[in-house]
Structure 1
Amino acid sequence: MLFDRIVRPAMYRLAYHDPEAVHERTVALLSRAGRTLRPISKLYRTADPTTVLGLTFPNKIGLAAGMDKNGRALHAWPALGFGFVEVGTVTRHPQPGNPKPRLYSLPASDAVINRMGFNNDGAQALADRLAAHGKPAVPLGISIGKSKVTPLDEAVEDYRFSLRALHPFADYFAINVSSPNTPGLRALQDKAALAELLAELRKTGTELGGDTPLLVKVAPDLTDDALAELLEVCLEHGVAGIIATNTTLSREGIVPAEAALAAETGGLSGRPLTARSAEVVRFVHEKTEGKLPIIGVGGILGPDDARRMLDAGASLVQIYTGFALHGPGLVRRVGRGLAAR
């Protein structure tokens, strides 16, 4: 395809200098293209419908949170083959995120390190954009998190604000308590803190008159005991599913030639996370006896990775780093590989 042979190589040569600029240009380009991409959608589309969380997905491949934080290119992603889209993570308060540089491409390791810090326009801005321009033609997930300026003991109200603002638009909510790039955020995975947060969000959802599924996104760095405790809380509070996993603080899997970049702080994604994310998916599936649907994400760079994730117990998969490094051809390859199962 033209993108894979010409556009992507040209854009990603720039990534060695400023990968965040490449990311921004990609989203801006897709935002302008929007619905005009529909004529090419047949090149990327795969028909592999499935029903999960009470929602019908045209295929099992989703765009993970982080690529289109502010929902600027919502009508372009389905044309590139995605069966669902997750935007965000958004927070109650608009925030610029961490100082730049904060995004590092590691092409030899097929990986990315980021410490973006939930840079976004805020939950209300996303709600206004969705009200003005509408939802995509596939299920829409919205990832919500805690603002950096909000003290940890006031985090619940941050999440409640975003839930209320975006409730009319979300097909599901991803509760992000596992990013390594917001100080203290991962403490919300602890039993008492998570129980309080989920209880209040379920209550708020009921007050809003809907039953939008809530999914908890977990870190790959939790011990088995900590993850088991988290799952108990999720089951007790009626969580609809789990997203496994977020980025990792580990630096295993980075090739020696990129050792200098391994010293950068932030979350690591891509190929080094492939095995661990599948392990977490399998653990969640077995520990919950299949009661919680799982969206598997982390290190999916080809059809075999996606198949292993589904075999481990995931119902759906998401792609981010693979798309960023290899373009929409990856979505097509994974989609056709899964449809041929």
Structure 2
Amino acid sequence: MELNAKIFVAGHRGMVGSAIVRRLAERSFSNVVVRSRTDLNLLDSAAVRDFMASERPDYVFVAAAKVGGILANNLYRGQFIYENLTIQNNLIHSAHMAGVQRLMFLGSSCIYPKLAPQPIKEDYLLTGLLEPTNEPYAIAKIAGIKMCEAYNAQYGRQYVSVMPTNLYGPNDSYDLNNSHVLPALIRKFHLAKLAHAGDVTGIAADESRYGAIPGDILQSLGLVREADGALVKASEPGPVLLWGTGTPRREFLYVDDLASACVHLMEAGYDGPLVNIGVGDDVTIRELSEVAKAAVGYSGEVVFDVTKPDGTPRKLLDVGRLESLGFEAGMPLADGVRLAYADYLQGKKI
């Protein structure tokens, strides 16, 4: 990529998109184009088509998507499949119509088969049944990958897809109704830490910053919500309750490592098949909870609710293809979680 090339990052206000923008700035790319949701509704095909025709970027990173954890994926099934299909269809097709030759589409490792052999190779896509709670989102993302492959085959485009593992870091979502496991752990431990310190004011401030605290978590914090919305201490806080058995294994990638990998592949002119982006190592959810607990400084009890779903038993990516292309992730998990918590304490910045 030339340093003055026009680069459009779709979804720049999200965790992934903002990390890609940071990485491009670090690499001295000077012509990065972004649009907020109020300026460009990615669900509006005409608006996206007009934008692409007007801007005619040289490169496009598709980091815009509707995302969430197990609860959100299962609860908002219609929204997840409709919005993701619509966003990616609009962006990929409009880029093609505007003559964009290079595009990178970001998938997600949760779209691999639920019982795929471990570690998961790129070739395992579409070889087995999906995780049921995640199926609508997964089908949408698979369609995006296949759309890129089809446009490459029919039109000679260079539309590359990458498959990130579980991500965390700056600008993550900490909404307890929609967040993924690691940001949810960070917030639950932080709230419990405040509750054990008797800091109801701090909990209220956290709620105004990151969204409403669900009733079951309020109860575990020893709080009740009064009619006017105020939080009041009703009892001593209990243990932090976590979903599932704690035995599933997951791989976690610091989002700035993902951004570095994406920019590396684009700069290198990579024009091949799907690429996994991960660290090549995993931990159990119980082990992850210990890392997050230490980063936050919470010293209380943790209890796993085995009546709640675990999701996929294991999800570890084979990163051999990525490493053969000259990239390895560098952020150790404990260091990354400490950085993520420090960012959490600063509050949403964009």
Shared topology, TM-score over 0.5? no
Return the TM-score normalized by structure 1: 0.34
Return the TM-score normalized by structure 2: 0.34
